[in-house]
C-alpha cells in the first residue's frame, strides 16, 4: 500500500502534463469540428457520393458532420496519445529505481519483489484510468455544444473502454520490458520502438487487404471504431486476445523481476 501511494504521488506531475496534452488535443479537435458541424452543404456533398467510394475510403458510416462520426475519427489519435503515456509509465515505474539509484533502498524494505511490482503496477493502472477519465470527461463536455444523442454516449463510453484496454496492453508491455531488460536504460526506448512498429502495422494493415492479418499484431487495430459504432459492442475475440497478452506480459514481469540482477 505504501509503495502504491508513493508511486502515485510521484506520478502526479506527469499525470497532469499528459492530461493537459489530452485536453489540448480535445480543444483543437473540436474547434476544427465546429467548421463542420451541421453544415448542410457538407451533408449534401456527402449524400452525393457513390457508396463504393466511401467504402474504399472507410468513411462509410463516419458521417463527419455529426459529433459521433467526428469522435470516431479522433479515436486513433486518442489511442496514440494515451498509449504513449501508458507505455512511458509502465517502463519508467520499474526502471527509474535503478536510474535514480534508489533500488537498493527499496529492496531492503521488508517486502517481496513481487509486492513491489504489484504496488507499482496498481499505481500505473490508476494513473491510466484517471487519464482515460480525463479524456472521456473532456470529450463529453466539449460535445455538449453539438447536441449529442444517446448513440453518441453509448459510442463514447464503449470506445473509451476499448481505449482503456489498449492503454493496459502498452502498460503491461512497459512493465514487462522494464523488468526483463538487462540494461535498464534500454527499457524505455524499446517500449517506444515496439509502439511505433505496431502503429506502422496499423497503417500498413489499412492500406492493403492482403496484409489485413497484421491487425492481430497491432493493438491500435484491435477495436475498430466503425464496428463499435455499428454493433454497439466491442469485439469479444479481441478482448480475449488483449487479456491474454496482458496476462502473459505481467506473468513475465513477475518472473523476471524476482530473478533480476540489479544494476547498481
Shortest separation between residue 1's beta carbon and another protein, angstroms: 25
Considering only the stretches 40-48, 158-166, 235-243, 247-255, report the one whose residues sit in contact with another protein under the rule CB under 8 A: 40-48
- Nearest CB to another protein, comparing residues 153 and 200: 200
Rounded to a whole number of angstroms, the minimum distance from the CB of residue 190 to another protein is 10
Backbone angles phi, psi at 263, to 5 degrees: -90, 115
Find all residues with CB under 8 Å of 194, minimum gap 6, and list them. Answer: 173, 177
Among 6, 23, 43, 59, binds another protein (CB under 8 A): 59
Cα–Cα distances in Å, from 166 out to 54, 133, 251? 27, 14, 18
Chain residues 94-123 in contact with another protein, contact rule CB under 8 A: 96, 99-100
Q: What is the dihedral of CA 62, 63, 65, 71, to 10 degrees?
A: -20
CB 88 within 8 A of CB 188: yes
Radius of gyration of the chain (CA): 20
For another protein, the closer of residues 88 and 156 by Cβ is 88
**Residue 233 DSSP label:** S
Q: Using CA atoms, how far apart are residues 246 and 237, in angstroms rounded to an integer?
A: 14
Least distance in Å: CB of 38 to another protein?
14
Cβ 110 to another protein shortest distance, Å? 28
What is the grid cell recorded at 206? 489499412
User: What is the distance between the alpha carbons of residues 33 and 235, in angstroms, rounded to a whole number?
Assistant: 28
Among 1, 40, 48, 110, contact with another protein (rule: CB under 8 A): 48
Q: Which of 6, 23, 43, 46 binds another protein (CB under 8 A)?
A: 46
Residues 5-34 that bind another protein (CB under 8 A): 14, 17, 21, 25, 28-29, 31-33
d(CA 195, CA 76) in angstroms, rounded, equals: 14
Q: Which of residues 181-220 bind another protein (CB under 8 A)?
A: 188-189, 192-193, 196, 200, 203-204, 207-208, 210-211
Q: Of these, 3, 8, 67, 74, which contacts another protein (CB under 8 A)?
A: 74
CB of 217 to another protein, least distance (A): 14
Measure the CA–CA gap between 175 and 121, rounded to whole angstroms: 7
Q: Which helix (H) or strand (E) holds 171?
A: helix 150-180
Does residue 38 sit in helix, strand or coil?
coil
CB of 258 to another protein, least distance (A): 25
Task: Point out which residues bind another protein (CB under 8 A).
Answer: 14, 17, 21, 25, 28-29, 31-33, 35-36, 41-42, 45-46, 48-50, 52-53, 56-57, 59, 64, 73-74, 77, 80-81, 84, 88, 92, 96, 99-100, 188-189, 192-193, 196, 200, 203-204, 207-208, 210-211
Amino acid at each position: 500500500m505504501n509503495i502504491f501511494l508513493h508511486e502515485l504521488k510521484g506520478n502526479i506531475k506527469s499525470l497532469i502534463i499528459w492530461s493537459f496534452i489530452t485536453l489540448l488535443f480535445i480543444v483543437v479537435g473540436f474547434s476544427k469540428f465546429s467548421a463542420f458541424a451541421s453544415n448542410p452543404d457538407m451533408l449534401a456533398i456527402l449524400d452525393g457520393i457513390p457508396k463504393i467510394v466511401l467504402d474504399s475510403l472507410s468513411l462509410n458510416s463516419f458521417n463527419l458532420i455529426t459529433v459521433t462520426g467526428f469522435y470516431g475519427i479522433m479515436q486513433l489519435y486518442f489511442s496514440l496519445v494515451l498509449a504513449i503515456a501508458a507505455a512511458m509509465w509502465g517502463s519508467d515505474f520499474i526502471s527509474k529505481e535503478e536510474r535514480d539509484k534508489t533500488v537498493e533502498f527499496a529492496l531492503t524494505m521488508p517486502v517481496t519483489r513481487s509486492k513491489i511490482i504489484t504496488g507499482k503496477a496498481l499505481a500505473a493502472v490508476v494513473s491510466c484510468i484517471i487519464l482515460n477519465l480525463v479524456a472521456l470527461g473532456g470529450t463529453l463536455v466539449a460535445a455538449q455544444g453539438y447536441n449529442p444523442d444517446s448513440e453518441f454516449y453509448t459510442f463514447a463510453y464503449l470506445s473509451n473502454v476499448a481505449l482503456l484496454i489498449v492503454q493496459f496492453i502498452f502498460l503491461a508491455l512497459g512493465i514487462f520490458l522494464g523488468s526483463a531488460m538487462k540494461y535498464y536504460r534500454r527499457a524505455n526506448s524499446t517500449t517506444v520502438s515496439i509502439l511505433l512498429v505496431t502503429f506502422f502495422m496499423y497503417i500498413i494493415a489499412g492500406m492493403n487487404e492482403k496484409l489485413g492479418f497484421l491487425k492481430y499484431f497491432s493493438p491500435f487495430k484491435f477495436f475498430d471504431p466503425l464496428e463499435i459504432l455499428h454493433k454497439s459492442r466491442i469485439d469479444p475475440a479481441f478482448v480475449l486476445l488483449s487479456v491474454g497478452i496482458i496476462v502473459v506480459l505481467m506473468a513475465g514481469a513477475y518472473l523476471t523481476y524476482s530473478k533480476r540482477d540489479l544494476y547498481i
